[in-house]
Amino acid sequence: MFSCAFEEFAETDLPGQLHAALAQETLAGHLAGHVSRDSTAISARERPAKSGPKKKKKKAKRSPKSKNGPRP
């Protein structure tokens, strides 16, 4: 039964006709647009290349702790 009904739908293109009629009725006078996006892989680095070793800054020497305790 299902295959007979499906065969009749395929021959008459009834779903396509219904879809076209529905779109014509509901979208008449409207502009329809779409967005196409390409998902093709692009060969590029995701992170920037390392520029080389960085120079380390020398820390300033701290004065020795006071023998008398913290300053007031």
- Model confidence pLDDT, tens digit, residues 15-71: 889 999 998 888 888 877 878 888 887 777 777 777 778 788 888 777 766 666 666
The single-letter code of the amino acid at 60 is: A
Half-sphere exposure of 31 (CA within 13 A, CB side): 1
Residue 72 has pLDDT above 70, yes or no: no
The CA-to-CA distance between both ends of the chain, in Å, stands at 98
